[in-house]
Amino acid sequence: EVQLVESGGGLVQPGGSLRLSCAASGFTFSSYWMHWVRQAPGKGLVWVSRINSDGSSTSYADSVKGRFTISRDNAKNTLYLQMNSLRAEDTAVYYCARASSGSLVSWGQGTLVTVSS
Amino acid sequence: QSVLTQPPSVSAAPGQKVTISCSGSSSNIGNNYVSWYQQLPGTAPKLLIYDNNKRPSGIPDRFSGSKSGTSATLGITGLQTGDEADYYCGTWDSSLSAGRWVFGGGTKLTVL
């Protein structure tokens, strides 16, 4: 069974940093592109970032470019999102998702990030 | 403002049919596969339709997808109260050099 389990969310002050993790199991992690998607309270889904299967290529939404870094450790079957210079508007539930056949086929349960003083 | 445009809400009675539209451009829907996601209240999104019109294992055939040009449509027949959810379309957008994934703003389905 495919499982994606996010962790690392919490309350952080504006300007602070946080690193999210997504532990993958049930599939060959190193074969798939992975994405981060976020959802602010009461709002829609917003794509954040993606990384290719070997970690050599990444892309970001304009709203997080230069502040967030996506990475992966295929030996540990884990996806990461390093978030720096956090702003109130980054407050959201962050989901990791596995990509395949041009779609986001599997999603984690999400981890809540709250940026507030 | 989302890159893909969906109606904010749709509604229909149990047993009826509903369609949800998703409008984009040549840099996204026009040249890439569209997928649809169902998000039940308080849960993570779930893939409903991929490659424009394919259903993952376990998704009933009451759900269907289609694409024409720069628009896509999700259809749901035999509506059930358990179908009340938010529905999102998504696709790859190649307008920027590195590409990006884009979603519609979401459509809230109410089964009256």
Contact B47 A44 (CB under 8 A): no
Residue A37: count other Cβ atoms within 10 Å of its Cβ: 28
Mutate to test the interface with B, among A103, A104, A106, A112 (most CBs of B within 10 A): A103
Task: Find the mean pLDDT for residues B75-86.
Answer: 97
Cβ partners under 8 Å of residue B104, min gap 6: A44, B2, B4, B5, B6, B22, B88, B89, B90
Radius of gyration over alpha carbons of chain A, in Å? 13
Alpha-carbon gap, residue B92 to B103, rounded angstroms: 9
CA distance B105 to B9: 10
Listed range (A69-73, A87-91, A98-102, B30-34) with the worst mean pLDDT: A98-102
Strands, E assignment, A1-117: 3-7, 10-12, 18-25, 34-39, 45-51, 58-60, 68-73, 78-83, 92-100, 103-107, 111-115
> Are the beta carbons of B44 and A106 separated by less than 8 Å?
no
How many other β-carbons are positioned within 10 Å of the β-carbon of residue B75? Answer: 16
Q: Residues A4-46: pLDDT tens digits?
A: 999 999 999 999 999 999 999 999 999 999 999 999 999 999 9
Confidence of residue B97 (pLDDT cuts 50, 70, 90): confident
pLDDT at A87: 98
In 3D space, the residue among A49, A52, A62 whose CA is nearest the CA of residue A94 turns out to be: A49
pLDDT at position B2 is 86
Whose CA is closest to A34, among A96, A112, A108?
A: A96
Q: What is the C-alpha to C-alpha distance for residues A55 and A74, in angstroms, rounded to an integer? A: 9
Which positions in chain B have a beta carbon within 8 angstroms of at least one beta carbon in chain A?
2, 32-33, 35, 37, 39, 44-47, 50-51, 56, 86, 88, 90-92, 96, 98-106
